[in-house]
Amino acid sequence: MAVSKTPDQAHAPVLDALASFLAHHTPQHITLAYSGGMDSTVLLHALIRLQPDYDFQLQALHVHHGLSPHADAWTQHCLAQAKRWAVPCKVVPVQLEQRQKGVEAEARRLRYAVLSEQASEWVLTAHHRRDQAETVLLNLLRGSGVAGLGGMAQVRWLNHDIQLGRPLLSVSWRAVQAYARQHRLSWVEDETNTQLRFRRNWVRHRLLPFLLAQFPAAEAKLAQVASHMQEAQTLLQALAQQDLTSIENRGRLEVKGLLALSVSRRHNLLRYWFYQRHGLRLTRQHLQALDALLQASPDRYPQVRIAGQVATRFQGKLFFPKPQLSPWQPVLWCNRDQLPFRFVGKLPDKTRLVPFAQTGLVVKPYKKAFQQAGIPPWLRPWWPVACRAGKPAYILGVGPVDKTLTWPEAASVQVALTAGIG
Q: For residues 71 and 77, what is the distance between their CA atoms, to the nearest angstrom?
A: 10
Residue 348: the pLDDT is 76
Q: For residues 110 and 195, what is the distance between their CA atoms, to the nearest angstrom?
A: 21
Domains of the chain: 11-218 (3.40.50.620), 246-319 (1.20.59.20), 331-417 (no CATH)
Residue 419: the pLDDT is 42
Q: What are the residue ranges of helices labelled H in 32-120?
A: 38-54, 71-84, 103-118
Residue 360: the pLDDT is 92
Residue 420: the pLDDT is 40
Beta-strand runs (E) in 287-398: 303-306, 309-314, 317-319, 331-332, 341-344, 352-355, 384-388, 391-395
Q: For residues 253 and 245, what is the distance between their CA atoms, to the nearest angstrom?
A: 10
Task: Dump pLDDT digits (tens) for 53-63.
Answer: 999 999 999 99
Residue 406: the pLDDT is 66
Residue 413: the pLDDT is 66
Q: For residues 328 and 99, what is the distance between their CA atoms, to the nearest angstrom?
A: 36
Q: For residues 218 and 85, what is the distance between their CA atoms, to the nearest angstrom?
A: 36
Secondary structure (3-state) at 187 = coil
30 CB burial (10 A radius; 0-12, 13-18, 19+)? buried
CB 315 within 8 A of CB 377: no
Q: Residue 252 forms beta bridges with which residues?
A: 249
Task: Dump pLDDT digits (tens) for 298-355.
Answer: 878 889 999 999 999 998 999 999 887 788 888 887 666 777 887 777 777 778 889 9
Q: Taking the CA of residue 114 as centre, how many other CA atoms within 13 Å lie in the half-sphere pointing to its CB? A: 23
CA angle 129, 130, 136 (to 5 degrees): 90
Number of C-beta neighbours around residue 184 at 10 A? 7
Q: Which residues of the chain fall short of a pLDDT of 70? A: 1-11, 98-101, 334-336, 405-414, 416-422
CB 56 within 8 A of CB 32: no
Largest CA distance in the chain: 96
Residue 405: the pLDDT is 66
